[in-house]
Amino acid sequence: MTKKRKSSGRSKGGKGRSELIQCTNCGMLVPRDKAKRITARYSLVDPSLARELRAAGAYLARPSSFKYYCVSCAVHFGVRKVRSREERRSL
């Protein structure tokens, strides 16, 4: 059987089975090491107020939220691009 990707589309190495998580968009169950993780940082303060506070020397915390996408949703939303055959095998 030919091998499409060097990593078989996963980042698990030799760990064995990994836990399943749900895609943020469609709810499909995907192995954690196969899902595409996106980190989004958001501000708790209005942008104009944040500018004034930063000018005054305040530190504004920006918490992170994580989104996990299955491969099909990641390609659909442009998170990951479709790669050529040579690029797929090299990484």
3-state secondary structure of 65: strand
Span between the terminal Cα atoms of the chain, in Å = 19
CATH code for the domain in which residue 58 is found? 3.30.1740.20
Q: How many domains does the chain have?
A: 1
Q: Is 55 a member of any domain?
A: yes
Please give the residue range of the domain that contains residue 77. Answer: 20-90
**Do 50 and 58 form a contact (C-beta atoms < 8 A)?**
no
Q: Is 30 a member of any domain?
A: yes
Q: What is the mean pLDDT of each run of 10 residues along the chain (91 residues)?
A: 83 88 96 94 92 94 94 93 83 60
Angle at 54 between CA 52 and CA 56, to 5 degrees: 70
Q: What pLDDT was estimated at residue 91? A: 60
Q: Is 77 a member of any domain?
A: yes
Q: Is 37 a member of any domain?
A: yes
**Do 52 and 60 form a contact (C-beta atoms < 8 A)?**
no
Q: Is 85 a member of any domain?
A: yes
Task: Determine if the pTM surpasses 0.85.
Answer: no
CA distance 75 to 81: 6
